[in-house]
Structure 1
Amino acid sequence: MLKRKNEYNYFDAFADLAKYSYKLAVALNETLCNFDHSNISEKVKAAHEIEHSADYAKHDIMNRLVKEFLPPIEREDITTLTQEIDDVTDSVEDVLIYIDMFNIQSIRPEIIKFTNLIVTCCKAMDEALEEFKNFKTSKTLRDKIIEINRLEEEGDALYVDSMRNLYHTSKDPIELMCWTEILHRLEKCCDTCEDVADIIESIVMKNS
């Protein structure tokens, strides 16, 4: 059956939503690689504008779904996947918020490794969602999902190494508290990308 020209494409909407996560991950990485404490509030504001745009895109999907007679996949799956993608964007923004809130003056080297990894994770998620529209015939979607899982495992290992290094090199309780929380937020970015991959895999299984 031919698709009507004005028919809403949820798969395109998922891919568009993921691009906000990737854009914010790139902004986070660039901010921390060129860290300047004096302008961190401006960077947080810019990040929030990206997150706010992502919220509008998420609400548009939900508003479309309310009026949809027969969505291409289950309504619950559309709702869950939309929220999980949005959670990635929120988690990336949280990292900058906590760096500002804790008045961080300089960035530890291992943090840059983490933000580089988050950019890679978000890019992999973006690519998986671009391919998701072809899930019934795709030869590469499964590999893209596996890659996100691999990157999340890399994030777990980096988290453990970074925490070990933190507690071996610092005895200052405030510094330990601040960086422990920030590292937790960084790890969560990778975890939420994997959550998106898990939902995609579940949808594919249910519709195959």
Structure 2
Amino acid sequence: MFSLQTIFGSGKQFYELLDAAAVSAHDSAKALHEMLDPASGDKSLDAIKLARHHQREATNRISQALVDSFITPIEREDIEELRVALYKISKQVERFADRYTFAAHRLEGVDFAPRAAMLEKATQIVLDMVRELPKLKLETIKSLDDRLHAIETEADRLLLELYRELYSGDLDGARMFLLKEFFEILEKAIDRCRDAGAIVYQVALKNS
């Protein structure tokens, strides 16, 4: 006799699809870091655009799988929330990169690479958390979430320092606007990483 699981599947494909979405988010952050690294010779958007394309593909496949599948390994709402959070990470990366190509000549001497490195590290932690989902080991996921929170806290602190510098009155209006906009985009990308991590942690809490 066939069980319902045999007929409808176990829903484990969702873990693979979420992994693909998390990999794409990490790839986009890594490509941005390389683009902004002064030592890098590659300043093109190709790698970022490719990662974004893969992110869209994974996102669409998750949405379709939610329609087609009777069984999911975790709640559908959690899968959807995590799908959206991962999508928004690479969306912020692409937003930064597209605008940076137009404004780079106005931002000479500004080193965004350290902040992009923080984002790359945050996306790696998110990827690690997504890969821990099938195991639902609360202690491991909590440890990763704590590391993600520490990165977000440091990013918030650095943004406050930037505001202090911007409002000191030593910068012209146009440069102040650009610095504020670009650093805030990177900050928002890190916040989206924190959102994704919080979803994974809540799933682990509910299912452990």
2:26, 2:123 within 8 Å by CA — same for their partners in 1?
yes
Structure 2 distance, partners of 1:47, 1:55, is 12
Partner of 1:125: 126
Identity among equivalent positions (%) equals: 22
Structure 1 distance, partners of 2:185, 2:85, is 16
Q: How far did 1:192 drift?
A: 0.4
Q: How far did 1:189 drift?
A: 1.2
Structure 2 distance, partners of 1:60, 1:170, is 49
Partner of 2:160: 160
Gaps of 5+ in 2: none
RMSD in angstroms over aligned alpha carbons? 2.4
TM (norm. structure 2) is 0.86
Q: How far does the alpha carbon of each residue in 1:92-121 deviate from its partner, in whole angstroms, 9 at most, with x for none?
A: 121111212334452513x22211111111
2:141, 2:204 within 8 Å by CA — same for their partners in 1?
no
Q: How far did 1:35 drift?
A: 7.6
- Taking a change above 3 Å as real, the CA distance of residues 36 and 176 of structure 1, as seen in their structure-2 partners, is farther
Structure 2 distance, partners of 1:66, 1:117, is 36
The count of aligned residue pairs is 201
Helix, strand or coil for the counterpart of 1:140?
helix
Gaps of 5+ in 1: none
Helix, strand or coil for the counterpart of 1:133?
coil
Q: How do 1:3-152 residues align onto structure 2 when only pairs under 5 Å count?
A: 8-34=12-38, 43-105=44-106, 106-109=108-111, 111-135=112-136, 137=137, 139-152=139-152
Helix, strand or coil for the counterpart of 1:34?
coil
Structure 2 distance, partners of 1:170, 1:97, is 28
Partner of 1:197: 197
1:124, 1:144 within 8 Å by CA — same for their partners in 2?
yes
Structure 2 distance, partners of 1:160, 1:35, is 27
TM (norm. structure 1) is 0.86
